[in-house]
Structure 1
Amino acid sequence: MTTLGMPAVFPAVHTVGTAAEPRVVVLGVDTHKDVHVAAVLDHLGRLLSRGEFPATTAGYCQLLEWARHTQG
């Protein structure tokens, strides 16, 4: 699984929760020729959400939109 290193692109995915108790999550993307599989894990490695997106320009846009709104 390849981890994206663009925290500015995914502000809602990297830190969610309340100010008193922030929760760090990780977005990972497993890239393939025709489809990319993305997963959001919490700080303990538990799967919070998973999505599959076509390896196209439209699919990349869908993945980014999904990542921005995924909070587990």
Structure 2
Amino acid sequence: MSSSTVPSTSLAPRARRRPVGEVVLGVDTHRDAHVAAVLSVMGAVLATGEFPATAAGYRSRC
């Protein structure tokens, strides 16, 4: 897996924190895990998260 200089934080549950305005979601896919990042349109990192690339991992982020 690639390294990053951005500290990893959990994606906030939908009810707790919603960005105001537009955001960009990026997902870096790998064989064993996927990493997602939510950015503001100005490029600020709002949240990041990593989850296993398995059926159980996909269900845990719904």
Taking structure 1 as the reference length, what is the TM-score of the superposition? 0.56
Post-superposition offset of 1:62:
2.3
Percentage identity across aligned positions? Answer: 57
Q: Which residue of 2 aligns with 1:32?
A: 30
Q: Which residue of 2 aligns with 1:58?
A: 56
Larger strand fraction of residues: 1
Runs ≥4 residues deviating over 3 A: none
Q: Name the CA distance, whole Å, in 1 between partners of 2:60 and 2:36.
A: 11
Q: Name the CA distance, whole Å, in 2 between partners of 1:39 and 1:54.
A: 15
Q: Name the CA distance, whole Å, in 2 between partners of 1:46 and 1:16.
A: 11
Q: What is the number of equivalent residue pairs in this alignment? A: 46
| Structure 2 runs not aligned, ≥5 long | 1-13
Larger helix fraction of residues: 1
Post-superposition offset of 1:31:
0.2
Post-superposition offset of 1:16:
4.1
Give the 5 Å matches for 1:1-72: 16-17=19-20, 23-63=21-61, 65=62
| Structure 1 runs not aligned, ≥5 long | 1-11, 18-22, 66-72
Write the deviation string for residues 35-58 of structure 1: whole angstroms up to 9, x where unpaired.
000000001111100000000011
> In angstroms, what is the RMSD of aligned CA positions?
1.8
